Amino acid sequence: MAVGLLITVCSFLFAYFLWKTLNSRDRKWLSKVSGPPTLPVFGNAHMLKTGGSDFFDQVLEYSTLYESQTMFKILLGSHAIVVLIKAESVEKLLNSSSHITKSVEYRFLEPWLGTGLLTSTGAKWHSRRKLLTPTFHFRILQDFLEVFNEQSQIMVENLKKKVGGNKFDIFPYITHCALDIICDTAMGVNVDAQNDSDTQYVKDVYKISELVHRRQKAPWLWPDFLYSLLPAGRQTKECLRNLHSFTQSVIKERQRDLQASFENEETLSSTSSIEDFLRITKRKRVAFLDMLLLYQRNSNLSDEDIREEVDTFMFEGHDTTAAAANWAMHLIGSHPNVQEKIHKELDEVFDGSNRAITDEDLKKMKYLECVIKETLRLFPSVPMYGRELKEDFNIDGVDIPKTTTLLVLTSALHRDPRYFPDPEKFDPDRFTLENTVGRHPYAFVPFSAGQRNCIGQKFAMNEEKVLLASILRNFTVKAHQKYCDLRPMGELILRPENGIWVSLQNRDV
């Protein structure tokens, strides 16, 4: 019975991909783009490695093999993916106002995120971007800074228990801190991940990310009906039920609190500024969800629209920041000279004080910012991102047809020796003001660029600085891994397969 079902499924998939191949548009253009050898029907799908770190190594090997080109191709069945690895080609794509649609691979995020800011396109994306931009106003970012400080201090207290002991994996400490930060700033709730990392919401966030990435790489998992019958499909459904239930319950509760804070409907409808909102509600600070609920009164946002954006903010603002801070910990702990410069800068800013970090302090952390940028060059939180062409597009004389996926491989782009000599070397001085003069503006795009650049990049940089500064004000860090031990996994987010192992010593400031 099981064998018969397997044969039927395989026959169906073979026929499906054969039909797709035979009915695809003129594919002569593919001969003009280099790439690994393909098989009929399957393309390169059969040779792509399934493990996150193995897959990432494989893609980087391709970028090295074809580094004399501006791009290379990979075929998943009949679906062509053109990978861009040079700044000049990336600029042409990201600067285009016609090609703002995320690639088809992003559709596997839609069951979780809907068509929010990350996955939407066209008129919906433009209206959402315009609506959401004020939510990252400097006044709100200042409120968020208070959350950064509070949660970072909890992390530091937990890390103090590790001082002077054996090496340990710091990855979960930083990641749970980032999750507490995003839950507080996005929804105004405390999941207390730093003290209870076994909560269902935390586990589901990690599981859904893993499942989505696995599906993106496997064309045989793309048909929705087939996927729903498999164990992975059932796991995905369970995770989505938990995640959406949690977010929706928070939205409902926040709506009730908001309504109760106002004397009447007229007062609520006329409240549009952050200052009025905080004054009338007598709240200490505003959350991203609060602003969406405020906008809901003067726009056509539904509760489902709000859930989409809150879930999107949770996804984009959690793992990305945590991963970058963890990579920075490894690099700082591996380079004592860099750590010494950071300590010196922090001592000049704080003069031995243990006070909270202010916005003015963040502006003074110029060398730490260079360290963060160099970390993002070597280990970009989003190692690749794609666009689907909505019309034919010419790159370097090749007419690439619409529906093709163009993939920006940031991990390879950031290693272009034309702009970053000795590219594997960790050198924060690459990002001093004088050393960035004349560099191609699209040689370093960890937050994307153009119209669809990351709306929360200022939020992310501020959080990174607070997380790292909080640790390094208190401790000296020593790394206990070489690059080969890390095994970066190029999934939705670039994470180390084996964690980030360090040891800590107290600082005598």
DSSP per position, 28-58 = GGGGGS-----BTTTBTTTTS--SHHHHHHH
State the pLDDT at residue 22. Answer: 45
Burial of 484 (0-12, 13-18, 19+ CB in 10 A): exposed
State the pLDDT at residue 23. Answer: 47
Sequence letter at residue 211: L
Burial of 444 (0-12, 13-18, 19+ CB in 10 A): buried
Sequence letter at residue 506: N
Name which of 376, 384, 365, 377 is nearest 325 in CA terms. 376
State the pLDDT at residue 17. Answer: 53
Q: 102 by DSSP, 3-state: which?
A: strand
Taking the C-alpha atoms of residue 354 and residue 473, their distance in angstroms, rounded to an integer, is 8
Place of tokens 């340990």: 168
Show Cβ contacts of residue 471 under 8 Å, excluding neighbours closer than 6 positions.
Answer: 155, 156, 159, 329, 477
Q: Which residue intervals of 389-456 are DSSP H helices?
A: 410-413, 433-436
Residue ranges, the chain, pLDDT below 70: 1-26, 50-52, 137-139, 197-198, 261-284, 509
Task: Tell whether 454 is in a known binding site.
Answer: yes
Beta strands at 385-388 and 405-408: parallel, antiparallel or unpaired: antiparallel
State the pLDDT at residue 468. Answer: 98
**Cβ(450)–Cβ(95) under 8 Å?**
yes
* Angle, vertex CA 388, rays to CA 385 and CA 392, nearest 5: 130
Show Cβ contacts of residue 474 under 8 Å, excluding neighbours closer than 6 positions.
Answer: 156, 159, 160, 506, 507
Q: Which residue intervals of 437-497 are DSSP H helices?
A: 457-474, 483-486
End-to-end CA distance of the chain, in Å? 70
Q: 389 by DSSP, 3-state: which?
A: coil
State the pLDDT at residue 255. Answer: 83
pTM as predicted: 0.89
CATH number for the domain formed by residue range(s) 30-121+140-198+210-220+311-506 = 1.10.630.10
Ordered strands of the 501-506 beta sheet: 168-169, 501-506, 475-479
State the pLDDT at residue 272. Answer: 55
